Amino acid sequence: TQVIRYLFGIIAVLATFMFIWGGVLMLTSAGNAQRVKQARETLTYAAIGVVVILLSWSIIQFVIKGIR
């Protein structure tokens, strides 16, 4: 359980950096449509990653409680 918590912590930090990177891309795009698109994709994928992390955490907790 501790290893899983550690890994999820690392993944959460990476997702946070992806949100920051997407925001920086958006702010520095200067109206360039390609960079705005890239920033939106980065933010979308970071959000999807957070949802997947939360769902996997919930499933793992459910399984662990079922085992105990």
- The structure tokens listed for 14 are 């990476």
> Looking at residue 4, what is its pLDDT?
80
pLDDT of residue 44: 95
Look up residue 29 and give its DSSP letter: -
pTM: 0.79
How confident is the model over 12-35, as pLDDT tens digits?
A: 899 999 999 999 999 999 889 999
Half-sphere exposure of 60 (CA within 13 A, CB side): 13
What would the two tokens of residue 46 be?
Answer: 């970071």
